[in-house]
Amino acid sequence: MGNTFGHLFRITTFGESHGGGVGVVIDGCPPRLEISESDIQYDLDRRRPGQSKITTPRHESDTCEIISGVFEGKTLGTPIAILVRNKDQRSQDYDEMSVKLRPSHADATYEAKYGIRNWQGGGRSSARETIGRVAAGAIAKKILKQVANVEIIGYVKRIKDLEGMVDPSTVTLENVESNIVRCPDPEMAEKMIDLIDQTRRNKDSIGGVVECVARNIPKGLGQPVFDKLEADLAKGVMSLPASKGFEIGSGFAGTLLTGSEHNDEFYLDETGEIRTTTNRSGGIQGGISNGENIIIRVAFKPTATIGKEQKTVTNTGEETTLAAKGRHDPCVLPRAVPMVEAMVALVLCDHLLRQEGQCGLF
């Protein structure tokens, strides 16, 4: 009952890491948008495991098929179903996990809630579920770009204690994609890659922070009081696997300032538009976009599945230890970048459609 996200641009994802496949149904995509599998595949490839030496070595091509909703290259206004078949299924690596619960993973809670789980890999709790989100996010990005020239750029801001210097108002996709860790600070990126690589060899994992900026945002997006733009953004990214924190604008650090220091003073730009001299608000005031850049940060914990031995229990109630066999992802951050971008795009696209027509009638 919790597999749908959005109101007017509404996605429903399905699929476990093992089984027939994973995918998404997008309901509410406006008609006559040009779209093809290749529009989607780019972000799927950025999300894909095995894309570099610092991600999980699980090799999946993650090729998507558009099942419905597109005719002669254009959207019909009907639901767009996208399917990615599962392929690389070495389930023998998971045999141990059919009884042993991985610490800080969803094994135990799924078992407690549902009384059943697909123990081959993470099942529904696998990051593989995000394929549907990323596919839908690619379409949302395209809509936002065409309608309002909105640009959404995510990047790795911090890996463990290694923090990059990035200017959110100028960073480009090319900067982000210039290295495999997706940190647009080239020097720090090198260090991050080394740290991840070393962590992988230690059979351990690390986390960090993804920052995401959305530029050229129309004023007026967001629906107070519960569907405030930052509230929906928070929900979106906090529903990603491994996320533990969310900030907008000044975030937690902003609590160290006084009001007179923190407030974004207004001025009129050369076109007479109301702007703010600073952007501690992160582009949103009172739950509604003010036209400045939207800037959020998401904390991702270190991946739960590790090769190191840990204490745990079995689902039949015995204490034991577990050292995960085979593949595991030392750091999800580089792959989390397109996931965060997708959630931001989905929220913004939904609110763009909600804004349209609602406030311009009288």
Residue 164: CB minimum distance to its own copies, A: 14
Residue 174: CB minimum distance to its own copies, A: 26
Nearest residue (CB) to its own copies, 17 versus 175: 17
Candidate ranges 39-47, 88-96, 175-183, 198-206; the one touching its own copies (CB under 8 A): 198-206
State which of residues 215, 280, 327, 335 lies at the interface with its own copies (CB under 8 A): 280
Rounded-to-10 torsion of CA 43, 16, 85, 234? -20
Nearest residue (CB) to its own copies, 179 versus 355: 355
State which of residues 64, 306, 339, 340 lies at the interface with its own copies (CB under 8 A): 306
State which of residues 54, 150, 231, 339 lies at the interface with its own copies (CB under 8 A): 231
With residue 353 as reference, give the H or E element that holds it: helix 333-355
Is residue 220 marked as binding? Answer: no
Residue 155's alpha-carbon distances to 9, 105, 301, 307, in angstroms, are 25, 25, 16, 27
Length of the chain counted residue by residue: 362
The sign of the dihedral angle between the CA atoms of 199, 203, 208, 213 is positive
Interface with its own copies in residues 76-135 (CB under 8 A): 76-81, 83, 101, 103-110, 112-118, 123-125, 129
Cα–Cα distance between 66 and 64 in angstroms, integer?
7
With residue 234 as reference, give the H or E element that holds it: helix 229-238
With residue 208 as reference, give the H or E element that holds it: strand 208-215
Q: Which residues contact 213 (CB under 8 A, 6 or more apart)?
A: 151, 152, 153, 154, 168, 169, 171, 293, 294, 295
Interface with its own copies in residues 24-53 (CB under 8 A): 25, 27-28, 30-33
Pair 56, 47: CB distance under 8 Å: no
Candidate ranges 47-55, 89-97, 224-232, 334-342; the one touching its own copies (CB under 8 A): 224-232
Instruction: Tell whether residue 230 is a contact of its own copies (CB under 8 A).
Output: yes
Instruction: Tell whether residue 175 is a contact of its own copies (CB under 8 A).
Output: no
Residue 172: CB minimum distance to its own copies, A: 25
Residue 230: CB minimum distance to its own copies, A: 5
The pair of structure tokens assigned to 321 is: 């230890």
Candidate ranges 22-30, 87-95, 167-175, 183-191; the one touching its own copies (CB under 8 A): 22-30
Nearest residue (CB) to its own copies, 72 versus 174: 72
Task: Please give the angle made by the CA atoms of 119, 63 and 47, to the nearest 5 degrees.
Answer: 70
Nearest residue (CB) to its own copies, 28 versus 50: 28
Nearest residue (CB) to its own copies, 117 versus 335: 117
The pair of structure tokens assigned to 317 is: 């109630």
- ω into residue 225 within 30 of 0, thus cis? yes
State which of residues 42, 186, 216, 286 lies at the interface with its own copies (CB under 8 A): 286
Cα–Cα distance between 85 and 63 in angstroms, integer?
7
Instruction: Tell whether residue 270 is a contact of its own copies (CB under 8 A).
Output: no
Q: How many residues bind its own copies (CB under 8 A)?
A: 160
Instruction: Tell whether residue 186 is a contact of its own copies (CB under 8 A).
Output: no
Residue 120: CB minimum distance to its own copies, A: 8
Cα–Cα distance between 195 and 179 in angstroms, integer?
14
Cα–Cα distance between 75 and 67 in angstroms, integer?
12
Interface with its own copies in residues 52-81 (CB under 8 A): 65-71, 74-81
Instruction: Tell whether residue 216 is a contact of its own copies (CB under 8 A).
Output: no
